[in-house]
Amino acid sequence: MLSVVADVGGTNIRLAVCCNKSGEVSQIRTFACAEFLTLDAALFQYFSTLSEKVSVLCLAIACPVEDDLVSMTNLSWQFSKLVLKEKLQLEHLFVINDYTGISLAVPFLTDQQKIKIGQGEAQHQGVTAIFGPGTGLGVSHLIHAANKWLSLDGEGGHMSVSPNSREQADVLLLLQAQFGHVSAERLLSGQGLVNIYHAICRLEGKQVDFHEPKQVTEAALNKDCSLATRSLTLFCEVMGGFAGNLALNLACTGGVYIAGGIVPRFVEFFKDSEFRTFFEAKGRFSTYLATIPTYVITHDNPGLLGATVYLRQELGFIED
């Protein structure tokens, strides 16, 4: 019974063959989503490279997955679970939110696959928060119950953002004029970093030179542009406040983990930023938050790892 796992984001789709007994993955491939008009076209492309027929598929995908019709938030792909299962002739199809997959990877990360930021010690099997700026902003929580890891899905990336400094408030007011409602994703994502930079340029009456997140990040890290550096600094500060909110929301004594494709690109800058200061800056609960650890996930494919955990739990190959 050949099993395949897939991590479907707004930019890339990553696929691998999963060994049901060991959880090891092989034949990992990454495709740009823009190369395909539909999800099933990408899946057929990958399946055609395999020597055996695929019987089980677990998709971790960046959008709500409760209904039969799944429509991606930051991509035009949509599909029916029932139709997809029939098209691919699968025995089992599991469709989970991408941050369900990433969250389920957390208990299985080694010390070499994460970087600790600040102090605090995680409580064994304590509630854990996971979020990550990328094409969008994914959010999930993880609990352990009935000898099983369970991810609490949600759309936390679309919560209203709250400023924690005068500069953040000024940026927020400009973005409110532009977007109306300003969700956390409007700041904590690739486009969010660009939004922050453009807002700071407007506040300073300066010309906008960058329109891509990579350009802002590189200019900040290379110290080529003081406004880009301010933008990346504010990005880290907002992330700290957001992470602290998640930790308080469900008493995340298991820690808060940062995933996504953005932060691992500037880990040293992030370590030296005020992220942790803003994480703990919650008034009467600052001392409480100081005991909760925060981490950056550096595993290459946490979504694939978590999808294997979900698949194997559902098939009864692992219980913990």
What is the CA 143 to chain-centroid distance, rounded? 17
Tracing tokens 């953040």 back to the chain, one arrives at 168
pLDDT tens-digit readout, 90-146: 999 999 988 899 999 999 999 999 999 999 999 988 999 999 998 889 899 999 998
> Is 280 contained in some domain?
yes
pLDDT given at position 123: 92
The residue among 303, 256, 241, 253 whose CA lies nearest residue 117 is 256
Are 94 and 150 found together in one domain?
Answer: no
Are 135 and 279 found together in one domain?
Answer: yes
Phi, psi of 83 (to 5 degrees): -65, -40
Are 42 and 176 found together in one domain?
Answer: no
Containing structural domain, residue 40: 2-104+301-315
Q: How confident is the model at residue 155 (pLDDT cuts 50, 70, 90)?
A: confident
Q: Is the confidence at residue 319, as pLDDT, over 80?
A: no
Tracing tokens 């408030």 back to the chain, one arrives at 169
Are 218 and 156 found together in one domain?
Answer: yes
Phi, psi of 204 (to 5 degrees): -95, -5
pLDDT given at position 176: 97
pLDDT tens-digit readout, 187-245: 999 999 999 999 999 999 999 999 999 999 999 999 999 999 999 999 999 999 999 99
Are 286 and 151 found together in one domain?
Answer: yes
As given in the structure block, the two tokens for residue 219 are 């200019």
pTM exceeds 0.75 for this model? yes
Are 97 and 217 found together in one domain?
Answer: no
Q: How confident is the model at residue 74 (pLDDT cuts 50, 70, 90)?
A: confident
Alpha helices by DSSP H, listed for 143-266, are 166-179, 190-204, 213-221, 226-249
The residue among 130, 237, 145 whose CA lies nearest residue 188 is 237
The residue among 42, 66, 50 whose CA lies nearest residue 17 is 50
Tracing tokens 């700071």 back to the chain, one arrives at 200
pLDDT tens-digit readout, 13-60: 999 999 999 889 999 999 999 999 999 999 999 999 999 999 999 999
Q: Domain tally for the chain?
A: 2
pLDDT given at position 138: 87
Are 140 and 59 found together in one domain?
Answer: no
Are 21 and 154 found together in one domain?
Answer: no
**Using CA atoms, how far apart are residues 124 and 99, in angstroms rounded to an integer?**
21
Are 190 and 264 found together in one domain?
Answer: yes
Are 115 and 225 found together in one domain?
Answer: yes
Are 151 and 242 found together in one domain?
Answer: yes
> Is 320 contained in some domain?
no
